Amino acid sequence: MDINALVGKRITQLRKRKKLSQQKFAYEAEVERSYLTHIEKGRKNISLAMLEKITKALEISLHDFFDPTELNKL
């Protein structure tokens, strides 16, 4: 699995864990819903700044986002 797909799946996993729709989460993360869809499907190569914005909206640190135990479950 490439890094874009891995990051996208992790974002989806965390968003669903918080029981947020894409629209609600996109609003909270201040990104366009359509752009979030592309990120979650691994179609976009996002910047670290965008990933930081997303992790803040998910209320998770970048360190925890890349937790190997969780990533191996994807």
Show the domains of the chain with their CATH numbers: 3-67 (1.10.260.40)
In whole angstroms, give the CA distance from residue 25 to residue 58. 8
- Does residue 65 sit in helix, strand or coil? helix
Dig out the tokens for 19 from the structure.
């029981």
Compute CA 21 distance to the chain's CA centroid, rounded to the nearest angstrom.
13
Contact 62, 10 (CB under 8 A): no
Q: Nearest-CA neighbor of 36 among 20, 54, 48?
A: 54
pTM of structure: 0.91
Over residues 2-44, the pLDDT tens digits come to 999 999 999 999 999 999 999 999 999 999 999 999 999 999 9
Kind plus residue range of the DSSP H or E element containing 39: helix 33-40
